Amino acid sequence: MGVDGSDPAQRAARHAFALASRLADSVTLVHVLPPPPVLSEPAVVPNMAELERQVYESGKAVLDKLAGEGRAEGVQVETQILSGPAAEVLAEAARADDVELVTVGSRGRTLVGSILLGGTSHRLVHICKKPVLIVH
């Protein structure tokens, strides 16, 4: 279950919790940190380590909040923080034998908008070897 803190991702997580509860299954919440920016001038970001720490802490807070919601519903929830291009990282994480379904939220862009803007859910559907559930 890919989560980024957006409203669609939160709806998708709640849907995954409900499904897991009915099937007596577990949910793994995955937050993907963006790759570090490539900067031509090091002075542009004075403290890259601090910026990376803030991004990590923000992702961890999103995971902790949603994991608490799932556990309150009686669902076994694990969390992971990974790094890289989101669709590719989620597809790779889904290759694990115990993954049966990947759930993600969609911001509701049109197909053309998703293709032009590089929507994670659209890309994931095409590269993931496991079934992908997109929650709008």
Contact (Cβ atoms closer than 8 angstroms) between residue 30 and residue 1: yes
- Which structural domains are found in the chain, ordered by start? 7-135 (3.40.50.620)
pTM across the whole model: 0.86
Length of the chain: 136
Q: Give the model's confidence band at 114: pLDDT under 50 very low, under 70 low, under 90 confident, else very high.
A: very low
> In this structure, is the dihedral angle defined by the CA atoms of residues 48, 50, 51 and 52, taken in order, positive or negative?
positive
Report the C-alpha gap between 14 and 27 in whole angstroms: 11
Residues 49-103 pLDDT 10s: 888 899 999 999 999 999 999 999 999 999 999 999 999 999 999 999 999 999 9
Residues 102-133 as b/e (b if ≥16 CB within 10 A, e otherwise) read bbbbbbeeeeeebeeeebbbbbbbeebeeebb
Helix or strand holding residue 36 (H, E): none
